[in-house]
Amino acid sequence: DIVAAIEAALSEGPLAGRHVLVTSGPTHEPIDPVRYIANRSSGAQGTAIAAALRDLGARVSFITGPADVPPPAGVAVTRVQTAVEMLAAVEAALPADAGVFAAAVADWRVTEAATSKMKKDAAGTLPSLSFAENPDILATVSKGPQRPALVVGFAAETDDVTAHATAKRLRKGCDWIVANDVSPATGIMGGTENAVTLITAAGAEDWPRMDKAQVAAKLAARIAEALA
Amino acid sequence: DIVAAIEAALSEGPLAGRHVLVTSGPTHEPIDPVRYIANRSSGAQGTAIAAALRDLGARVSFITGPADVPPPAGVAVTRVQTAVEMLAAVEAALPADAGVFAAAVADWRVTEAATSKMKKDAAGTLPSLSFAENPDILATVSKGPQRPALVVGFAAETDDVTAHATAKRLRKGCDWIVANDVSPATGIMGGTENAVTLITAAGAEDWPRMDKAQVAAKLAARIAEALA
């Protein structure tokens, strides 16, 4: 991986001189000091995409929640826990030529996380939790003043994948959506392979099921083509 | 680690012929296919305890939630996700001479996890969640028909550590509680060191801050002494 990073730095590559931002992994939203709410995400796909963009010569800002896999070598890593922290790190990393938002950001956070461990009451019931909506990082960047020329979002869905992802693309204001079916039966979540549908203004392209590194290489090549 | 496992198998050791059950790691309680609630736990302390018991010659049944660290070699591993699954695995592994319950089990689960990814409504609000209390694995085993001769629980606290843990020992019906202060300022959660207080019928012993492997070795030696 270090060799690959050095090679990328020395080679020109189609993305030489380009700055690409990649978010990856889950966010962890604290309930109290020991409990949290999270989305399942190993960070494997986002990490592979960052490595593939680096291999094409891009300068990569990699903003990651607590993932299972280590970040790639040769990229600028910022580690965050929550969605609010992730948005701040993204805004600090802008401007960029492209942004790839692969993180599985929690939609909600607990309004006020407890500073002490919560206890059951005598009846053993949960103290009530109130939730607030997290910032929508993809929409905020897509509609913001420092919008990258190319914004790529992700959609992890379990039903009507293409329909949900096509609607999401319009709602968020991004250019592309990489959609995948994360139903437990697919084995994609936590696995080494991925089967994605790329949603663009031109429609939906189903890519064959392949290794996450191959999905990453194919997506990075498409990004290079779009920025050329 | 493999060498250590072979040495343990070949040597006699004070726990030779003894069966010890160890739980470790967090449990993940699903909200829907992509979201879950969890307790923070790397599994590092439980894994070190299982290895230390193995090193003293015990046959170890290791029941682990999704931990950050891999299970030790030379123990029988059962992997679970939820508290309900963990209790079933514990009951299947009994009888045992001792049980060490180091897992950070979620106290609550969502009553009915959704089988499809939940969506925001038009107002962006969270579908309401109702919670059910999880089985209390430590109390169930401590008060159950197959109670091991020695039952050791854990208490991760942020305030009044000794008082909370002393009360927990009586409430759960276990023999010992290994209590620690997991306030963020201590750096213990996710770190390599631990500072514990051992609560027994005789009172509270503060152990000095030391490596998690040293805490494990000291606890395993005490368990061997208690079972001798």
What tens digit of pLDDT does each residue of B1-28 get?
666 666 655 568 999 999 999 999 999 9
pLDDT at B11: 63
Higher pLDDT, A108 or B137: B137
Report the helix count and the strand count for chain A, using DSSP H and E.
6, 14
What proportion of chain A, given as a percentage, has pLDDT over 90?
67
Mean pLDDT of all residues in B194-216 = 94
Q: Per CB distance under 8 Å, which residues of A are interface residues toward B?
A: 31, 33-40, 68, 104, 106-108, 115-117, 120, 124-126, 131, 133, 156-159, 182-184, 189
pLDDT at B124: 59
Report CB contact under 8 Å: A133, B116. Answer: no
pLDDT at B128: 67
Return the CATH number of the domain spanning residue range B2-227. Answer: 3.40.50.10300
The Cα of A209 is separated from the nearest Cα of chain B by a number of Å equal to: 20
Pairing of strands B193-194, A76-79: unpaired
- Cα B161 versus chain centre, distance: 17
Element (H, E) at A142: helix A137-142
The Cα of B73 is separated from the nearest Cα of chain A by a number of Å equal to: 21
From A165, A15, A168, A170, select the one nearest A96 (Cα to Cα).
A15
DSSP B207: P
| Nearest C-alpha in B relative to A105 | B35
Could you say which residues of chain A have pLDDT below 70? 1-11, 120-128
Residue B193: strand pairing partners: B211
Report CB contact under 8 Å: A156, B117. Answer: yes
What tens digit of pLDDT does each residue of A99-141 get?
999 999 998 888 877 787 777 666 656 666 777 889 999 999 9
The Cα of A75 is separated from the nearest Cα of chain B by a number of Å equal to: 23
ipTM for the predicted complex: 0.70
DSSP A16: T
Residue B55 in this model has a pLDDT that exceeds 80: yes
What proportion of chain A, given as a percentage, has pLDDT over 70?
91
Q: Is A39 a catalytic residue?
A: yes
Report chain A residues whose CB lies below 8 A from the CB of B107: 120, 126
Most A CBs within 10 A among B40, B120, B138, hence the mutation to make, goes to B40
DSSP string, A152-206: EEEEEESSSHHHHHHHHHHHHT-SEEEEEE--GGG--TTSSEE-EEEEETTEEEE
User: Side chain identity at B173, as an amino acid letter?
Assistant: G
Report CB contact under 8 Å: B120, A107. Answer: yes
Angstrom distance (rounded) from CA A73 to CA A65: 17
A34, A120, A184 member nearest B33 (Cβ): A184
What tens digit of pLDDT does each residue of B72-129 get?
999 999 999 999 999 999 999 999 999 999 999 998 888 877 787 777 666 656 666 7
What tens digit of pLDDT does each residue of B152-172 get?
999 988 888 899 999 999 999
Mean pLDDT of all residues in B32-50 = 91
Which CA distances in Å does A153 have to A51, A168, A178, B144?
17, 9, 6, 51
The Cα of B78 is separated from the nearest Cα of chain A by a number of Å equal to: 18
CATH class of A2-117+126-227: alpha beta
Report CB contact under 8 Å: A106, B35. Answer: yes
pLDDT at A187: 77
Report CB contact under 8 Å: B158, A34. Answer: yes
| Nearest C-alpha in A relative to B104 | A34
pLDDT at A116: 79
